[in-house]
Every structure is written in structure tokens, then in C-alpha cells.
A and B are shown apart, each in its own frame.
Chain A
Amino acid sequence: MPAKRPKVAVFKFASCDGCQLSLLDAEDQLLAVAGAVEIANFPEASRRIVKGPYDIGLVEGSITTPHDVERIREIRKECRFLLTIGACATAGGIQALRNWKDVKEYTRLVYASPEYISTLDRSMPVGSYVHVDFELRGCPINKAQLLEVVNAALNKRKPTIPTHSVCMECKLRGTVCVLVAKQIPCLGPVTQAGCGALCPSYDRGCYGCFGPMENPNPPALSKRLVALGCDRRDVVLMYRGFNAYAEAFRKESDAHEK
């Protein structure tokens, strides 16, 4: 074990906290993690906050306000290795659905005094504002993948985070293809692996929680979905989930909305 433990900080932007809680959810390995790193700044876990700079910064959430932009730029300066976690931080999250609408209209409807609301037009991934060293996908992230990235950083090796399709995970575990055998609409062929192909193992199609895979071909999949009986609106809604604003999914949903 290194004499000086790396300092880890966890930061939150627009998000539900689910991803950063994956770290606390590490159960059996939590004590080992706490032993291997110094949890220097993690308000969800400890009141003790140690000042930066930090060796590893975990960032959850999307950038939605002018203040967020200033804050993420400061965080970037403080973190040697910046890891974004979850669909919000890597694609803008479910809240990016507002990117298709006029956010001012929403603030007028929702808030009694909308003049106090300072927000950006769009909910964007962290990577649109600062350089990110590694993006960990998922809604939520897979805690085993989070440990793998932390582990790889500690041991100075490349993390093993495959970027191929969810289909490969189904096949590795022996799950029967729900799209082929049950005609269930499924985003697995265009979605990045990482969840362990959870939904198809429960007879559900993939919701695309881990965002587009490395070489996605959504138009080809959509053609099949339409052949299975999905109408244009169904197809739009399928791609407009937690990773709606990820480029490949955004383009495909837009193509079916025209």
C-alpha cells in the first residue's frame, strides 16, 4: 500500500445522488477503499472536509447553471484525475429532456418568482465545459465499474471498462435475446455494456442507461423497431431517456420527430 494515500473528493451537480451513493454501497469493499484512499471531501459520507488539491475527483451531475460552470472549472483545477460518473455527468441526464424545450417557460410555470432562477438553456455533460480524464457511464453507474476505475487509478493501470454493446453481455451470460425471441423493443444493440445486461435477464428490453456504444447504428435498429410495430413517437421516447442528449441517441430521436 502506498505510504501516502491518494486524496479523493466527490462533487455533485444536477443529479439525484444515486451514483455517488454507489461508492457507499460498495459494501464488502468499502473498508478496503477507505483504507486505500483518503476520503478528503465527500459531504454525503463525512462532515470532515479537507481542502484540495485532490488526486482523484469524482463528479456527479450535469452542468445546468452559470454557477455550475464556474464551479466545475475550479474543481478541474483542483483535481489531478477527474472522473465523471453517471448519465447526468456524461450525457446531461434525464433533465436534458428540457434541452428540447424553452426552459424560461418552465421556470415561469414552476416558480412563484422566476426572476430568482438563474439557469442555462441546456443541461450538459461535464465534458462540454472541462477536460475529463475518464467518463463512467450508467444510470446509475455500476459500483463494480466504479471500483474498477478507482482500483486502476491506484494501481496505475488502464481500467477494464468495455465500450461494446449490451448484446455481448447478454450472450456472455447466456440470456436469450428478447428482441429476436420475443419481439420486445430493446436498445441493447446500440447501448454500451456495463450493467451486466440486467433488463433483458428480466425479460425487459434495454433502456439505454449506459448511453451509446462505441460504434452505434441507431438508424438500423430503429428500422427494426418500426417493423416490430413501434410508431415514430415510441421510437422518439425510447431514445429520450437518461442519455437523451448523448449525440447518437439525440440525432436518432430528432430524426423520428421531424
Chain B
Amino acid sequence: MYVVELNDLQGLFTALSQQGYTIIGPQVRNGALTFDRMTSVDELPRGWTDHQDGGMYSIARSGDDALFSYTVGPHSWKRFLFPARLRLFAARREGKGFAVDPPAATPAPPYAFIGVRACELAALDLQDRIFMSGQYADAHYTAIRSSAFIVAVNCGRGGGTCFCSSMGTGPKARDGFDLALTEIMDGERHAFLIETGSSRGKDARAAMQAREADPSEIARAAAVSRAAESTMGRALDTSGLAGILAENFEHQRWDDIAKRCLACANCTMVCPTCFCSTVEDVTDLTGDHAERWRRWDSCFTSDFTRVAGGNIRMSTRTRYRQWMMHKLSHWVEQFGSTGCVGCGRCITWCPVGIDITAEAAAIRGANVATTNG
């Protein structure tokens, strides 16, 4: 393991830029930590932190100079890998048929993602399994994902709606990164412990003024992750949960949730593993040109389950149940793990603060108080 001082961290940004990467990282925008293009360490949210609870998010001064004392914001990396809107192809009328224009070769800008959290690495891994495996691999996702450079940053505090420890996905990044940083602040000292996860990562580290870490620095970094673990705002008991939910398909709690749920789809939009999309065809007025677009969709919308003969999920009750059971139950059968990484976004960004951990606990029969709504 290596260490780089704050003043030398810019070396990483410079090296990535020189290698042609478009650097995306957290920045303060519109009262939140969102992802945007950047070129310099100075654009990172130095001295900012966030406060989160069900249906509540705010940023505040952290009182120190830490670059990464926030947890996760409203955006997730899927925005770059699985864009909200994407043109799949265009077609032209030709005689009595039509010709499909070849899709423009995706000029996948090689992205470098800065500040990827452990829960988000787990989310990337889940989406990789959806989009990059089997017969129907997604070419667009694969192109962008394969070239992306991942700089993970280990959390130093747990957010109010975080529960990655419960899901076994964090707070410390274990794999799936090129570089992983842990921010160390000791008095005047401000440095980053560096772990490398790939040969690309090793090359990038070599471009920085990094030196080998001493045992006290390694111990200090371990304490950062322990601090995150001990301050996590939520927990989800996953033992036997997939089966418990499956056995409680008609539980009264689903009716109770339906009274509170807005069916607005925010939870699915912010979820870093939700992967559903729909396709929409557009034509010009003459009908001679058409395009097919893909856009994010949600199991909370009516069109999502409209099939020949009707709609298979008419009520908010059945839609919420489908979403939560897919995450925590069906996903296990489908992919061998849950579809939830414990980032807490669905809790924070639910306008009425419906809490997946509380709902799961209620269905399990644990004694929980309903939080919001």
C-alpha cells in the first residue's frame, strides 16, 4: 500500500487527463453532491458533508478540509453507463420496406470515475451481470464500462440512510476498482492511503508522488473504515429474508405501504442497480424517418406492466411489492444475490421517506416503528 499527500493528489487527475480520460466526480451543485465533469482536485467538495434521513437530504459544512466526507448523493454512476436516454438506431423508408442506419460507433469517452463508494462498486458489479453477460449483452454499456477507470474512495462515516454493512457491500472497498483511496486526516496531516486493484491502477499510482505506507498509516486507514461502519444510520436483517418475503406475499403491510407510497418512481430512478428501460419510437411527420430510443422506466408506472389484454399490476400495492420483492427476494433466485447494495438512496429520495429496511423488518415481524409518511 502507498500513501500520497493531498498536495500531490492532483498528479492523479493530470495523469488521467493526459491518458484521455473524461474525469467525473462529486461536486456541489444545487444543494447536493452530484456527479459532473472535472479536471482538478480543487473542484472536489472540500469541507462539505451531507445529512440524510427518510425523505430528507441536505449538505452542510463539515468543519474540516476533507474532500470526501459526504456519503452518496442523488446521482449514481449508472447515469453514465446506462444513460437515461439513448438512441438505439434510426431507420429510413425505402420502397415498401425500410433500411436501418447502422448505429454510430459509440465514441465511448473513456471515463474516470472519482469517489466511487464500496456500495457503488457492488452496484456496478450487479449491473455488469445484467448488461454484460449472456446472449443479450448491451454493447453500449459494455463499451463504456470496459474502458472506465475506477477510483474508489472508502467512506469515513456512515450516512443516515446507509446500510451497506448489512448487505456485505461496504463500507470498505474490496475489489472492482483500479485505485482505492482512504482519506487520512491527522492534525495538520492530510493524505490518502492508496490501494491498487489493476495494472492500470498501478500505472496511475506511479504517476503520483506516492511512497510506501508505513504501518501507522495503514492502521489509521483501517480506523476510517471502522468509523464508517459504526456510524451507519440503518440496518437490514437479511437472514432468510428472501424466503420470508416470498411467504408473505399477501401480508397486510403491503396495504399499509400502498397508503403511503406515491408511486412516483423516485426509488427506482435513484437506485444504482435498477436497470429497467422502455423503448419509444419516434417518426418525423412524413413517416420516412424513424428512430428508436431507450429510456429509463420503472416498475411503478402503468405502461411498464401493460400487456396484450390488460395490465398485470394495477395497484400501487402490487407495484411496490414487486419492486421490493425483486430487490430482496426474486433477485436471489435470478442472480444469486440480492439486488440491494445498501446505499440508502431509495430511503433518502423517497418524498415521503418510505424505508425499505423498516418495511422488510415489519414483514419479518420485528418490532419497528413506522418512520415517516
Contact = CB atoms under 8 A, between A and B. Distances in A.
A219 B270 CA distance: 23
Contacts of A155: 283, 287
A217 B264 CA distance: 9
Interface string B221-263: 0000000000000000000000000000000000000011111
Contacts of A186: 351
Interface string A161-197: 0111101100111111101111000101110000000
B57 A221 contact: no
Nearest to A215: B263
A128 interface: no
B270 A220 contact: no
Given A174-B75, A180-B349, A182-B31, A217 B263 contact: yes
Given A32-B285, A179-B351, A172 B84 contact: yes
A118 interface: no
A231 B351 CA distance: 18
B285 A36 contact: yes
B34 A165 contact: no
Which of B270, B280, B349: most chain A CB closer than 10 A? Answer: B349
Which of A157, A162, A182, A215: most chain B CB closer than 10 A? Answer: A215
Contact of A224 (B32, B266, B283, B351): B351
A174 B34 contact: yes
B207 to A, nearest CB: 31
Contact of B266 (A151, A189, A213, A220): A189
Contacts of A220: 259-262, 352, 373
A154 interface: yes
Interface in B302-334: 302-303, 315-316, 319
A224 B29 CA distance: 25
B84 A165 contact: no
Given A176-B74, A180-B348, A189-B264, A163 B282 contact: no
Contacts of B283: 151-152, 155, 157
A173 B316 CA distance: 25
A223 interface: yes
A183 to B, nearest CB: 8
B211 interface: no
A186 B349 CA distance: 14
Given A32-B284, A174-B79, A180-B57, A164 B302 contact: yes
Interface in A15-46: 29, 32-33, 35-36
Contact of B55 (A147, A152, A154, A224): A224
A167 B316 contact: no
Categorize the interface residue count of chain B.
Answer: 35 or more
Interface stretch (B4-12, B94-102, B293-301): B293-301
A160 interface: yes
B263 A171 contact: no
B259 to A, nearest CB: 7
B285 A167 contact: no
B281 interface: yes
A133 interface: no
B30 interface: yes
A94 to B, nearest CB: 25
A154 B288 CA distance: 12
Contacts of B282: 148, 160
A163 B55 contact: no
A221 B295 CA distance: 26
Contacts of B295: 172
Contacts of A174: 34, 75, 79, 84
B349 A177 contact: yes
B265 A176 contact: no
A165 B262 contact: yes
B373 A224 contact: yes
Which of A36, A151, A163, A164: most chain B CB closer than 10 A? Answer: A164
A168 B262 CA distance: 12
A1 interface: yes
Given A168-B269, A172-B84, A177-B349, A1 B261 contact: no
Given A167-B269, A177-B74, A223-B352, A160 B264 contact: no
Interface in B1-42: 29-32, 34
A155 B301 CA distance: 26
Contacts of A160: 280-282
Contacts of A227: 372
B362 interface: no
Nearest to A1: B286
Contacts of B265: 164-165, 167-168, 171
27 contacts: A1-B286, A32-B284, A147-B285, A148-B282, A163-B301, A163-B303, A165-B262, A165-B264, A167-B264, A171-B270, A172-B85, A175-B30, A177-B349, A180-B55, A180-B349, A181-B57, A182-B31, A189-B262, A190-B264, A215-B315, A217-B259, A217-B261, A217-B316, A223-B373, A224-B55, A224-B352, A224-B372
Interface of A: 1, 29, 32-33, 35-36, 147-148, 150-152, 154-155, 157, 160, 162-165, 167-168, 171-177, 179-182, 186, 188-190, 203, 213-217, 219-221, 223-224, 227
Given A167-B264, A217-B261, 8 more contacts: A147-B285, A157-B281, A162-B303, A163-B303, A172-B269, A176-B74, A186-B351, A219-B259
